[in-house]
Amino acid sequence: MTATAPASVTLSPDAPGAAAPALRAENLTLGYTKVRPVVHGVDLAVRPGALTVLVGANASGKSTLLRGLARLLPAHAGRITLDGNPIERIAARQLARMIGVLPQNPIAPEGITAGELVARGRYPHQPIFRGRSSDDDAVVAASLAATDAASLTERRMDELSGGQRQRVWIAMALAQQPRILLLDEPTSALDVAHQVEVLDVLRAEVDRGTTVVVVLHDLTLAARYADELVVLCDGRIVAQGAASEVLTEATVRDAFGIDARILTDPDTGRPVVLPRASSLGSSAVVSQERMQ
Amino acid sequence: MSAAVALGALSRTRRERRMRAASTTGILAAAGVALSITALAVGSVAIAPADVIAALAGTADGGEQFIVRELRLPRLTLALVVGAALGMAGALLQSVVRNPLASPDIVGVTGGASAAAVLAIGAGATGLAVSGSALVGATVAIVLVLAASGRKLGGTRIVVVGIAVAFLAQGVLGYALTRARLEQAGTAYFWLVGSVGSPSAPETLVLGMLVAVVAIGTVLGRGALAAQLLGDETATAVGSRPRRTRILAVTASTVLAAVSVAVAGPLAFVAFVAGPIARRLRGGGPAVLTAALVGAVLVLASDLVAQNLIPGTLQPPAGLVTGAVGAPLLVWLLIRAARQEGRA
Amino acid sequence: MRGAALLGLGLALAVALSLALGARGTDLGTVLTALTDPGALADPADAVAVRDLRVPRTVIGLVVGAALGLAGVVMQGVTRNPVADPGLLGVTAGASFAVVLGIALAGETGVIGLAVWALAGALVTSLGVGALARAAGDRATPALLVVVGFAVTAGLGTLTTLVLLGDPAALDRYRFWTVGSLTGRDLDAALTLLPLALVGIVVAALLARPLDALALGDDVARGLGFRLGAVRGGSLVAIVLLSGTATALAGPLVFVGLLGAHAARAAVGGHHGLLMPVAAVAGAAFVLVADVIGRLVAPPGELEVGIVVAALGAPLLIALVRARRAVAA
């Protein structure tokens, strides 16, 4: 399974099949202000060793939920547990060795190379005042290889394409050797080829035994890659399960407010979401009115 | 149907704008008159408002007439004129570079004028020579800032460049102050705060004439100034000549700022805050004349507060109030603007 | 790394020049003799010039420049603002206003006492500017923070004048002190304050890795296991100790932190573990060079180091905003 990484280094400490850690949200309420929570009392048991995709309309709370799971946002109510332990009781450094986070819009400092950036993912493993060891270098190299970014190691981040940059950022999260990887819209602002590139990397990570939770916009790509699809609407989970079961016309109408036809991809058997022509009708009415 | 709706909305906003302009001007003018009468009435000798009017009309008794017309009126006039000059200087520059942070006191113009004036005072100059020196200093500063900012005026580069020039001016000022004799340095420090306490009729007259000329120019060029806010390309597209507008406005702003510094010292932050306050009252636009009114009211109020409300024998200059009140106000305006921008 | 070596060489050269140059020219051999065996000098005045005048100002210049360079790196790191500088953001102005208050109101004269006032002033202004930056949130652009710093500097300047107007003697001392100068401070004073600066250096060193992480964004830093509150608090302590000590020793200097941090960034890149020592070297070299230039340009007198620093630093800041889109955006 570690075909792309040097044989001596495993990115995920657990061999595939070993008990993966269990991340759970229980009755979780989250928000940016106390008065208006964005996520309301959500229960979610992240399936260990699987690729979970969170989808939902804008402002449905999917990114907020992910930020909550990543401990970037404190819970107003409820709690998040890792293997049964509330995560706020786990030391920040220790947690960083178990959960890797790639938020939206991370900042690449001016002039930094891909290798230097990924090396910063080793910080949770390094005692203070100790520099980078050769072990660290091995993990960094393996992480870059795992995201197919080894050839970019000495390139500067500002010279890379959007897809390349995103793969380097994922490599940085992998260098933490996390057992769970949380990513907030890693494919936004990428063209379709680069989106597939990034999702293939995540798929490979899951195959290696890592648990991945990712927020995506594109329903069809989400359906294609998800082991578990979680649909959010107004801060609540409205459907959860295998994509073919979850993505029904009714769910899409309820969660996204459009009429859509659900087809089946003949290659993969996964659902494909196709908005119906008539659901664009409202704007046609507007333009007709303007003509009068 | 929808065209009629738009037409209705347009004429309604047009009416509202006019109403707002009229009410803003009216309120500011009323505040100015009320503050002026107060300024003439209060002091070491209190004079009833009715007697103030009588003194102005020349029908009061000799003592009161002397106090009002010879002591308090010149100071009042200077405060109004300096405030108007600073307000216009700030609003003009902020408008033509399309940046609310770019006022003469932030981008080093006031600093350049102050440093040059103190150098001149240290060299024994007085009166007109000090004004001329301040003008030279201000011109050097603005030319430096504009040249170093390059073409990208709309961005914040001009602000950082301007502050670099302002700190440079402070270095020059430090040099001048350490080379002067102690009592000269003391005078200079006092002057550097900014005060309208020692008015001279010719200086006030010169500054007043400058204010009048620029005000007329602003009225004539108000279309060009408004177009300037849309950016150079749009301004050109609507038939304006942005380059000429900019040169004229920057020149006017620099001259006004330099001469008011020479006459009254750098009253901190009046130029900076007058524009944003005026635009807020008016609901947008260059609002140069409104800024003049705001500036006049601000300086007058500051002088009143400094003279009458701050205890102690030492009479603090008006610039103390504008500096001490203006700095936090400025910061508050900045943060509020930043937050609004973030929300938009 | 070659850049770092050059900066080190520059510092060594600056130290040599600072010891050798002045109103009284002394060659390096004389300087060495004066330092090692003053009795052997033909002219005892050389020994006095080197040992009693130039050694103190060189040591003070080293401490002040290094502290400000380091403070600049920490400030730029914690604010992610490439034009952050203890002077530009008003922290040294806060320290210097507090010193004036200490002199005028509390009659403070001792080195330690004044340093305490300076630190308190630096603390209050740092907290204030930091709170404002947080209040502005994501919109706290580099320019906005610099304007806030300038407003703080100008406002405090006005208040300083008010405090001093009634007191000509204090005004006389203040006007020389506020320009920023390395002379007239005795070496013992510098050595007394050295422990404060050392604590600041240690705290800064502890921050190297957290600041590397913070450079990738708040969320990434937290994902890597760093607590933002602790990082910001530690940065505050380092900035206050370093810039407060520097201000207590030499008066409020602008641009030194800015220049130190950027020279270091150009030389060794963005890695704080390297950036910090190199910025300290660059800051120290800058202050000493400025001081030496000040001794030479206006004979028979001298220009205070603060004036030279402003004259050299302003074009630098301008060059920086012209070169970097990030600042101008």
In sequence order, what are the residues at sequence separation of 6 or more whose Cβ sits closer than 8 angstroms to the Cβ of residue B68?
B40, B47, B52, B55, B56, B60
Residue B93 in contact with residue B274, Cβ under 8 Å? no
Rg of chain B over Cα atoms, rounded to whole angstroms, equals 21
Calculate mean pLDDT across residues C274-292: 94
Domain boundaries, chain C: 57-328
Tell me, yes or no, if A16 comes closer than 8 A to chain C by beta carbon. no
Tell me, yes or no, if A292 comes closer than 8 A to chain B by beta carbon. yes
Q: Is residue A45 part of a domain?
A: yes
- Residue B327: CB atoms within 10 Å: 26
C57-328 belongs to CATH 1.10.3470.10:
yes
State how far the Cα of C306 lies from the Cα of C295, in Å rounded to an integer: 12
C238 vs chain A: nearest CA distance in angstroms? 17
Residue B245 in contact with residue B297, Cβ under 8 Å? no
Instruction: List pLDDT tens digits, range B302-331.
Output: 999 888 876 665 677 888 888 888 777 877
Residue B72 in contact with residue B40, Cβ under 8 Å? yes
CA closest to A110 among chain C residues: C270
Calculate mean pLDDT across residues C223-229: 92
pLDDT for B151 equals 66
Residue C67 in contact with residue C242, Cβ under 8 Å? yes
Output the DSSP codes for B88-141: HHHHHHHHHTT-TT--TTTTTHHHHHHHHHHHHHHTT--THHHHHHHHHHHHHH
Q: Which of B177, B324, B334 sits opposite C148 (nearest CB)?
A: B334
Residue C166 in contact with residue C189, Cβ under 8 Å? no
Closest CA to C179 of C87, C279, C245: C87
C274 vs chain B: nearest CA distance in angstroms? 28
Residue B192 in contact with residue B114, Cβ under 8 Å? yes
Calculate mean pLDDT across residues C270-277: 92
- Pure H helices in chain B: 2-41, 49-57, 62-66, 73-96, 109-122, 128-149, 157-179, 182-193, 201-220, 222-228, 232-237, 242-264, 270-282, 288-304, 318-343
Put simply, the chain A residues between 38 and 67 with a CB less than 8 A from any chain C CB are 67
State how far the Cα of A106 lies from the Cα of A190, in Å rounded to an integer: 15
Long-range contacts of C158-162 (CB under 8 A, 24+ apart): C158/B193, C158/B268, C158/B319, C158/B320, C158/B323, C158/B324, C158/B327, C159/B320, C159/B323, C159/B324, C159/C97, C160/C96, C160/C97, C160/C100, C161/B189, C161/B190, C161/B192, C161/B193, C161/B320, C162/B193, C162/B316, C162/B320
Q: Is residue A285 part of a domain?
A: no
Helix (H, G, I), strand (E, B) or coil at B48: coil
Closest CA to A206 of A225, A187, A186: A225
Helix (H, G, I), strand (E, B) or coil at C84: coil
Which of residues C137 and A156 earns the better pLDDT score? Answer: A156
* Contact (CB<8Å) C306/B186: no
Range scoring the smallest mean pLDDT among A276-285, C37-46, C108-117: A276-285
Domain that holds residue A103: 23-275
Residue A149 in contact with residue A167, Cβ under 8 Å? yes
Put simply, the chain C residues between 144 and 183 with a CB less than 8 A from any chain B CB are 144, 146-148, 150-152, 154-155, 157-159, 161-162, 164-166, 168, 171-172, 175-176, 178-180
Class of the CATH domain delimited by B20-343: mainly alpha
Residue type (1 letter), A244? S
* Contact (CB<8Å) C307/B174: yes
* Backbone torsions φ then ψ of A160, nearest 5 degrees: -85, 160
The DSSP secondary-structure symbol of C166 reads: T
Tell me, yes or no, if C222 comes closer than 8 A to chain A by beta carbon. yes
B136 vs chain C: nearest CA distance in angstroms? 19
Percent of chain B whose predicted confidence (pLDDT) is above 90: 30
The DSSP secondary-structure symbol of C54 reads: I
Both tokens assigned to B220: 């004539």
Residue type (1 letter), A42? V
Put simply, the chain C residues between 35 and 94 with a CB less than 8 A from any chain B CB are 83, 87-88
Residue A175 in contact with residue A115, Cβ under 8 Å? no
CA dihedral C40, C43, C44, C46 (to 10 degrees): -100
* Contact (CB<8Å) C162/B320: yes
State how far the Cα of C38 lies from the Cα of C45, in Å rounded to an integer: 10
pLDDT band at B112 (very low <50, low <70, confident <90, very high): very high
Helix (H, G, I), strand (E, B) or coil at A270: coil
Tell me, yes or no, if C106 comes closer than 8 A to chain A by beta carbon. no
List of chain A residues with pLDDT < 50: 1-8, 13-17, 279, 281-292
Domain boundaries, chain B: 20-343
pTM score of the predicted model: 0.86
How many residues in chain A?
A: 292
Instruction: List pLDDT tens digits, range B162-179.
Output: 989 999 998 999 888 888
Which of residues C190 and B168 earns the better pLDDT score? Answer: B168
ipTM: 0.86
* Contact (CB<8Å) C222/A101: yes
pLDDT band at C275 (very low <50, low <70, confident <90, very high): very high
Please give the mean pLDDT across all residues of chain B.
85
The DSSP secondary-structure symbol of A113 reads: B
Q: Is residue A5 part of a domain?
A: no
Rg of chain C over Cα atoms, rounded to whole angstroms, equals 20
B329 vs chain A: nearest CA distance in angstroms? 27
pLDDT for A11 equals 57
**Residues in B touching C140 (Cβ below 8 Å):** 338
pLDDT for B340 equals 66
Chains that touch C (3 or more CB pairs under 8 A): A, B
pLDDT for A64 equals 93
State how far the Cα of B253 lies from the Cα of B288, in Å rounded to an integer: 11
Calculate mean pLDDT across residues C237-248: 93
**Residues in C touching A112 (Cβ below 8 Å):** 269-270
Helix (H, G, I), strand (E, B) or coil at C75: helix
Q: Which of C138, C148, C318 sits opposite B331 (nearest CB)?
A: C148
pLDDT for B10 equals 85
Residue B270 in contact with residue B86, Cβ under 8 Å? yes
Mutate to test the interface with A, among C220, C272, C274 (most CBs of A within 10 A): C220
* Contact (CB<8Å) A92/C271: no
Domain count, chain A: 1
* Contact (CB<8Å) C88/B342: no
C31 exposure class (CB count in 10 Å sphere: 0-12, 13-18, 19+): buried
pLDDT for C327 equals 43
pLDDT for C200 equals 95
Helix (H, G, I), strand (E, B) or coil at C216: coil
**Residues in C touching B97 (Cβ below 8 Å):** none
pLDDT for C326 equals 45
CATH number of the CATH domain containing A49: 3.40.50.300
* Contact (CB<8Å) C176/B178: yes
- Beta A99-102 vs A180-184: how paired, if at all? parallel
- Residue A283: CB atoms within 10 Å: 9
* Contact (CB<8Å) A290/B1: no
Tell me, yes or no, if C173 comes closer than 8 A to chain A by beta carbon. no
